[in-house]
């Protein structure tokens, strides 16, 4: 193994400014500044996100280097998220990475944010080293922008074998939460309310989509019509049934995900599964996928909470693998808002 590769990762694709240091695959620091400014708008406001990144980026990177206990001269390369994401947000991280690269005389590595989510399972812990997923494995990537099943043949060779044809799983949580009058982001709020509810209280229709693809927009619409009809009978319906509605909705989303992963295992014969992305923080997703693994004798990797939502540790670990293959970025690389694996 090559030793002493120290990567600074920078993530600024959406509304989290984050910087992390990974040395030889082990995490030394991971600093995240969340942006509360979006809460009152019910979603991320791109212009406000860019401005917050601009204010946060220097203190966040500085803290990541300090927390890692290293000097900035020890950095081997700087990995930055090139996309996908909000262009104005990506520009802040990309431009900062270029400036730092020039001033330190260290190479740049461009990182695909989605590849970062997939490789978040390879972030190792010095105090508690873990078993890393084997290859090939399947990754169920469930976030606010993406819902994909990815066949992962090696750290840098992966292929999307299933994708959403409309909304992402995170959007299904966020949009239905909005209908219920819950704050943004709705996923964690639904998760919390669902813990006091009955997942079998209501039944919502599941989509019939061929292959390994997903669809979540129908669920949102049928949920909306269901509420409209019930509210006509009882105007206090949402208030009285909030916990049961959240639990049933969450259960439907989990079942849609599980059905497709079962099909993917059947189709590929691969029985090693990783979960990643913000929705993999969901308690029902975590517990039901764990049970599924035990029941079917699959190996299911549930990510630590810190690496489910956006973070720079996943960007740094991807940089670590690209560094070993000399996959560096040129200074004229521009961010890409729509970037696929
Ligand atoms: O990966 P992520 O931080 O950002 C993207 O790249 O999209 O994912 C954010 C998404 C949001 O839709 C949020 O509602 C969802 O992850 N999320 C959850 C939970 N925590 C975050 N969804 C359901 N249950 C949760 N506990
Ligand atoms: Zn993400």
Return the closest-CA partner of residue 302 out of 273, 270, 275, 265. Answer: 275
Whole-angstrom CA distances from 130 to 13, 30, 246, 293 are 28, 18, 34, 18
Give the sheet arrangement for strand 6-11, strand by strand: 26-34, 16-23, 6-11, 77-83, 108-112
Name the residue of 170, 256, 305, 338 to mutate for ligand 1: max ligand atoms within 8 A of Cβ: 170
Nearest CA to ligand 1 atom 21: 278
CA distances, 158 to each of 98, 201, 311, 317 (Å): 27, 39, 20, 16
Q: What is the mean pLDDT of residues 308-322?
A: 97
Q: Is the pLDDT of residue 15 over 90?
A: no
157, β-bridge pairs:
154
- Tell me the mean pLDDT in the region 54-59: 96
Question: pLDDT band at 168, cuts 50/70/90?
Answer: very high
Report yes or no: 141 and 147 within 8 Å, Cβ to Cβ: yes
pLDDT given at position 37: 78
Ligand 2 centroid to residue 276 C-alpha, Å: 9
Question: With bands split at pLDDT 50, 70 and 90, how would you rate the model's confidence at 87?
Answer: very high
Give the sign of the dihedral formed by CA 195, CA 197, CA 201, CA 203. Answer: negative
- How much distance in Å is there from the Cα of 183 to the middle of ligand 1? 13
Using alpha carbons, select from 203, 179, 150, 80 the residue that is nearest to residue 340: 150
Percent of the chain with pLDDT over 90: 90
Q: Which tens digits make up the pLDDT trace of 279-313?
A: 999 999 999 999 999 999 999 999 999 999 999 99
End-to-end CA distance of the chain: 26
Residues flanking ligand 1, CB < 6 Å? 14, 143-145, 170, 173-174, 185-188, 191, 277-279, 281-282, 309-310
- Per-residue pLDDT of 200-226, as tens digits, reads 999 998 999 989 999 999 999 999 999
Overall average pLDDT of the 73-92 stretch: 97
Query: How confident is the model over 39-52, as a mean pLDDT?
Result: 84
Q: How would you class 312 by CB atoms within 10 Å of its CB: exposed for 0-12, middle for 13-18, buried for 19 or more?
A: buried
What is the atom index within ligand 1 of the atom nearest the CA of 184? 14
Higher pLDDT, 87 or 47: 87
pLDDT at residue 1 is higher than 60:
no
For residue 170, the model assigns a pLDDT of 97
Q: How many other C-beta atoms lie within 10 A of the C-beta of residue 102?
A: 11
CA of 325 to the centre of ligand 1 (A): 31
Burial of 332 (0-12, 13-18, 19+ CB in 10 A): exposed
pLDDT band at 132 (very low <50, low <70, confident <90, very high): very high
Alpha helices in 234-282 (DSSP H): 237-268
Ligand 1 atom, smallest distance to 171 CA: 12
* Mean pLDDT to the nearest integer, 165-187: 95
Atom of ligand 1 nearest to the CA of 117: 1
**CA angle, 178 then 182 then 184, to 5°:** 75
Please report the pLDDT score of residue 3 as a whole number.
Answer: 61
Distance CA 298, CA 308 (A): 21
Provide the mean pLDDT of the chain. 95
Residue 78 has pLDDT above 50, yes or no: yes
Helix (H) or strand (E) holding 169: helix 169-179
Neighbours of 39 (CB within 10 A): 12
Nearest to 240 by CA among 221, 252, 227, 222: 227
Q: Contact, 17 vs 57, CB < 8 A? A: yes
Rounded distance, CA 278 to CA 146, Å?
Answer: 10
Ligand 1 site-directed mutation target among 144, 148, 275, 304, most atoms within 8 Å of CB: 144
Expressed in angstroms and rounded, the spacing between residue 114 Cα and the centre of ligand 2 is: 7
Q: Separation of 278 CA from ligand 2 center, angstroms?
A: 7
Domains along the sequence of the chain with CATH = 6-131+307-324 (3.30.420.40), 137-303 (3.30.420.40)
**pLDDT above 70: residue 2:** no
Q: Which ligand is nearest to the CA of 303?
A: 1
Residue 45 pLDDT: 83
């Amino acid at each position: 193994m090559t030793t002493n590769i120290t990567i600074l990762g920078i993530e600024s694709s959406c509304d989290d400014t984050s910087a992390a240091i990974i040395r030889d695959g082990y995490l030394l620091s991971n600093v995240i500044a969340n942006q509360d400014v979006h809460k009152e708008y019910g979603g991320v406001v791109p212009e406000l996100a860019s401005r917050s990144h601009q204010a946060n980026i220097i203190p966040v990177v500085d803290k990541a280097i300090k927390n890692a206990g290293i000097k900035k001269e020890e950095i081997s390369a700087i990995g930055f998220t090139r996309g996908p994401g909000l262009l104005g947000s990506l520009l802040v991280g990309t431009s900062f990475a270029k400036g730092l690269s020039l001033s330190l005389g260290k190479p740049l590595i461009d990182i695909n944010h989605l590849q970062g989510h997939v490789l978040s399972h390879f972030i190792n812990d010095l105090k508690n080293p873990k078993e890393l997923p084997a290859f090939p494995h399947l990754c169920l990537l469930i976030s606010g922008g993406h819902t994909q099943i990815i066949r992962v043949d090696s750290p840098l060779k992966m292929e999307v074998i299933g994708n959403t044809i409309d909304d992402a799983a995170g959007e299904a949580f966020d949009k239905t939460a909005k209908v219920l009058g819950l704050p943004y982001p709705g996923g964690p709020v639904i998760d919390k309310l669902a813990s006091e509810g009955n997942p079998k209280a209501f039944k919502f229709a599941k989509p019939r989509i061929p292959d390994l693809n997903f669809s979540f927009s129908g669920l949102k619409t049928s949920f909306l019509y269901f509420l409209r009809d019930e509210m006509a009978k009882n105007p206090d319906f949402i208030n009285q049934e909030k916990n049961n509605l959240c639990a049933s909705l969450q259960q439907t989303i989990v079942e849609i995900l599980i059905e497709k992963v079962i099909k993917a295992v059947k189709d590929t014969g691969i029985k090693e599964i990783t979960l990643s992305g913000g929705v993999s923080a969901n308690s029902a997703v975590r517990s039901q996928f764990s049970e599924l693994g035990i029941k079917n004798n699959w190996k299911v990797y549930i990510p630590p909470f810190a690496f489910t939502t956006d973070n720079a540790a996943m960007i740094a670990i991807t940089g670590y693998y690209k560094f070993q293959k000399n996959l560096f970025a040129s200074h004229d690389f521009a961010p890409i808002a729509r970037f696929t694996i």
